[in-house]
Amino acid sequence: METRGEGAGTLSLTGGTRLEGRVEVSGAKNSVLKLMAAALLAPGTTTLTNVPDIVDVDIMAELLRRLGCGVDRDVVAGVVTIDVPERPHHRADYDLVRRMRASICVLGPLVSRCGEADVAMPGGDNIGSRGLDLHIEGLQRMGAEVVNEHGYLVATSEQLRGADVWLDFPSVGATETLVMAAVLADGRTTIDNAAREPEIVDICTMLIAMGAHIEGVGTSTLVIDGVSELKPVTHRTVPDRIVAGTWAVAAAITRGRIEVAGADPSHLSIALEKLRSAGAQVDETADGFVVSMDDRPKAVDIVTLPYPGFPTDLQPQFIALNAVADGAALVTENLFEARFRFVRELARLGADVRTDGHHALIRGRATLSGAPVEATDIRAGAGLVLAGLVAQGRTDVYGVGHIDRGYAGLVDDLARLGGQVVRMDDAHREGPPMK
């Protein structure tokens, strides 16, 4: 049985096995954490289903408990029940927020519901600067006073009021913060250049079920008419398109065949089309899709963009695919400037990757060679695991705790698909990877 621990552990992979079988995708990490925060908007018991068994859910549950909520989890059933008091506490402490950037999502609900919020400046993955300016400017336009005091964002407002907000960039986090703040504001809020990700649609769907008035869901313009109160609901989390996409690449890179169940292929249109261009066969099913590959993949160019463009969270996985592909590929990263840091680890496996600013040129090689590498963030870890699956010999991926934050039961799923993988805790690993 797989065990986990934040920031700890090592995956030892022996490459060369074709993955074949079926995996079930649960709810999206990038949605469920925000849904848990949205529960703060209504006193009473909110129930979330299709919740993934990942470390970040544990962290968010503890954060909500410190805000005065009762949180119960049924890991087997994938259910989280949140009992929200009439008046939650309003301080989100640093020791939790530093571990997960998504903790900032409690800012909007707290200032909207309580009139004040003290939220520590967040931490999270080391993939580049992701400022909170858009969150702050939007709340200020809605009448909140927001200051930075001793490492905390302190937002106060007796009553938020509707406003017209233009986002310079379609930020997912800022869109979520402002939507959750606006649903209880006085009057109409219009958010232009809003993010359109399926996770945004998911949170809006839940808020509407709670009694919010939101128009334009799934478009770049959201119109929210504030209401006086919301009610708790039961809501099913949208499938995790990034986990689904990772398994799709796993099938292609190992020249295997994987049925990905519980996924929505429409959320991965561009990524799946790129796999077809690489030579994979992709077939939609009643509840997901099947990816199969018989030959060496062909190199494919990638340009990351906000949804519905190619997702940045699948960029490392596709770089791993290109590292063993036939030909050369150019990958352009437009969202997070530090996303390419993981290619230094990929190079330890023999990959030929050259970076220049926000471009990476990958020249595919027939084989990679197993070596110790270290995951520095969730998706980098996924990319290194994929590379280890096809590298000759043994690859040890350190820092598995990062992967735990986004992938539930990864080792068990890999083993069921035929992968040769063992998880070790820090006490049994042979030492840190050489740099």
Tokens of 135: 């969150």
CB count within 10 Å of CB 211 equals 15
Look up residue 237 and give its amino acid.
T
Evaluate whether 400 touches 8 at the Cβ level (below 8 Å): yes
Cα distances (Å, whole numbers) of residue 406 to 78, 193, 249, 349, 382: 15, 27, 16, 23, 9
Q: Which parts of 228-378 are beta strand (E)? A: 234-236, 257-261, 281-285, 288-292, 302-303, 328-332, 352-356, 359-363, 368-369, 372-374
Q: How far apart are CA 181 and CA 171, in angstroms?
A: 15
Look up residue 89 and give its amino acid.
H
CB count within 10 Å of CB 424 equals 16
Tokens of 109: 């609900």
Strands 152-156 and 164-166 come out as: unpaired
- Of 118, 125, 240, 404, which is the active-site residue? 125
Instruction: Give Cα 422 distance to the centre of its chain.
Output: 24
DSSP β-bridge partners for residue 299? none
Active site residue 125: yes
The residues assigned a catalytic role are 125
